Structure 1
Amino acid sequence: MKSIATLTLNPTIDASYDVDRVIPTHKIRTRNERYEPGGGGINVARVFCRLGGRVECLYLSGGGTGAAFDGLLDDMGLPRRAIAIAEPTRVASAVHEAETGKEFRFVPAGPTISDEECAECLDLLREVDCDYFVASGSLPPGIADDFYVRAGEIMRERGIPLVLDTSGEALKTTLTAGGVYLVKPSAGELRQFTGEALEEPEAIGAAAMAIVAAGQAELVAVTLGHKGAVLAQASGTTFVPALEIEARSAVGAGDSFLATMLFALSEGRDPVEAFRYGMAGGAASVLNPGTGLAHPDDIERLFAQVARA
């Protein structure tokens, strides 16, 4: 079985609650409280591990919330290596309003990282032993936009493919440098990268193919939310429509997509089949409230439907 190492520079304790109704200034009683370790790379590792893969979580951790975050990972049995930082790990909240079915999400920017802490993180990457390296999530304040470029250079020197899932300037800078194995932008992130409207799947596929043609990434999987997803590779593009399911939470759907697609690739499945498996993973994630992410039974059941789409 292939292994992955995930890097999460801005992890978060994901708190989620159910309420009857959100009312300004009122004390609102919650139920079904859940506290789980989150952040892009952590979520990818959780799902990849559920599928039977081997993982190691690398992340920044600080303060009392960092200690709590470490404990949450230990409770899940996820192998981990934390880089200690001075400022506390962030806490994010997702509130599901029962009366309307709406979900409210509150996400802090995260701690400010020093140059010394950043350098220590890069040093740790030279010790990582894995088959795929996943750089996933936002960059916290203090870390330069080219951090994932430097991380990718370290991985290439060691012959380890880089899997990227980030946004904004970090995505633009890293893709421009090239050499990414798999990148998973959302449609909005791809629009921001290209500066184009990209409304239809055909236009999105063309933009993704341009990334492949430029040598910036070998595989580009673009998630389109309720519309589906597009895969671009050297042989062309594939569009798969989304399954019609009742969504309970959008938190971590993209991470579940990436984890399941990468797991399938690690098993030797061809990119299109792996992409469809990723679609099932993303759909399975939204079935669960809060930050439950995708579960194997749901993934397999939904994959049978995606395969016919």
Structure 2
Amino acid sequence: MILTVTPNPALDVSYRVERLVPGTTHRVRSVRERAGGKGFNVSRVLHEMGIATLAVGPVGGVLGESLRADLVASELPHALLVVDAPTRMTVAVVDDEDATLFNEAGAALLDTEWDKLLDLVRGRLPEASALVCSGSLPQATPRDTCARVVAAARDAGVPVVVDTSGPALLAAAAAGADVLKPNAAELREVVDCADVVEGAERLRSLGAGAVVLSLGPEGMVAVTGEGRWRAVPPFPVRGNPTGAGDAAVAALANGLVEQSSWPMRLRAAVAWSAAAVAAPVAGSVDVPLLRKLHDQVRVETL
């Protein structure tokens, strides 16, 4: 079972319009609502791919109840901690060309609530073959929150993938995360380095086992203790990119569990990520496209 932790869940709302034109009124073609936050999206992808998972996170208020109801309806295994802070909302406005996102920051949790969330994670770690800590942190959150999750997993002998940003990314590296997955902008935010590979090596020097960099349509780069590789999708995929990184994290976590080679992990991460762009909402992949992509992803040694 792959355990996912979402420190800052959200009720994701997607509006599809014909064309987004700022400053005008739009007729919405369709509306979708679902439980979101990066860790929940990772679990959704794993569940869709038939891989056992459990999604953990804090929820509060009316939107928190809507989030819980969606998890129940979708039959996604979950363990939620009820907190005082209201769950946030994110809005994606999607047209035929692109997606425009509006992400609320998320309300602060009490220190005691973070302790309870960590206890919930510790209680589930004996069942876990890997752990994912993924997403932003709410306002006024201690920078070591993800690092505490990493430390708990390491104490339990469970490998960890972390997808976060800012000071929390540096703290997760220092705590010894097995895999970090920033994008290029998130890497440059914390490491003053123009070259992404050199920047990834600096993160590894802090204590991370491996760094996988998302480069958008240009694929991904993995910098590990075993070598460096780059994987590129065989053709561009148009659609909603909001869940692409989460699908990549799901593939990387599954690769950890399967102990596949790094080139195979990177190939899967790029294929799952591209297939997620073609899916209508974050937390899903276009499975027929995934099958088409997988063997065509090009992996080269750097």
The alignment's TM-score, normalised by the length of structure 1, stands at: 0.90
The one-letter code matched in structure 2 to 1:270 is: S
Shift of 1:276: 0.7
Partner of 1:224: 215
**Could you tell me how far apart the structure 2 residues matched to 1:185 and 1:242 are?**
18
Determine whether 1:209 maps to 2:168: no
Given that 1:90 and 1:111 are in contact with CA atoms closer than 8 Å, whether structure 2 keeps it comes out as yes
Shift of 1:182: 1.0
Given that 1:10 and 1:140 are in contact with CA atoms closer than 8 Å, whether structure 2 keeps it comes out as yes
- Unaligned runs of at least 5 residues, structure 2: none
Given that 1:209 and 1:236 are in contact with CA atoms closer than 8 Å, whether structure 2 keeps it comes out as no
Distance 1:269 1:94, change over 3 A: same
% identical aligned pairs: 32
Partner of 2:34: 36
Map 1:42-61 → 2, pairs under 5 A: 42-61=40-59
Shift of 1:23: 5.1
Partner of 1:103: 99
The one-letter code matched in structure 2 to 1:131 is: S
Shift of 1:298: 2.4
**Could you tell me how far apart the structure 1 residues matched to 2:22 and 2:145 are?**
40
Give SS of 1:222's match. strand
Given that 2:131 and 2:161 are in contact with CA atoms closer than 8 Å, whether structure 1 keeps it comes out as yes
**Could you tell me how far apart the structure 1 residues matched to 2:275 and 2:284 are?**
7
Given that 2:2 and 2:53 are in contact with CA atoms closer than 8 Å, whether structure 1 keeps it comes out as yes
Determine whether 1:298 maps to 2:286: no
1:193 pairs with 182, 186, 190, which one? 190
Give SS of 1:173's match. helix
Shift of 1:27: 4.5
**Could you tell me how far apart the structure 2 residues matched to 1:250 and 1:304 are?**
21
Map 1:47-126 → 2, pairs under 5 A: 47-98=45-96, 101-126=97-122
Shift of 1:122: 1.5
Distance 1:160 1:246, change over 3 A: closer
Given that 1:253 and 1:286 are in contact with CA atoms closer than 8 Å, whether structure 2 keeps it comes out as yes
Deviations 1:7-28 (A, max 9, x none): 1011111111112344556543
The alignment's TM-score, normalised by the length of structure 2, stands at: 0.92
**Could you tell me how far apart the structure 2 residues matched to 1:83 and 1:172 are?**
26
Give SS of 1:277's match. helix
User: Which shows bigger deviation, 72-81 or 283-292?
Assistant: 283-292
User: Which shows bigger deviation, 132-141 or 242-251?
Assistant: 242-251
**Could you tell me how far apart the structure 2 residues matched to 1:104 and 1:167 are?**
20
Given that 1:229 and 1:242 are in contact with CA atoms closer than 8 Å, whether structure 2 keeps it comes out as no
Shift of 1:289: 3.0
1:281 pairs with 246, 261, 272, which one? 272
Given that 1:133 and 1:160 are in contact with CA atoms closer than 8 Å, whether structure 2 keeps it comes out as yes
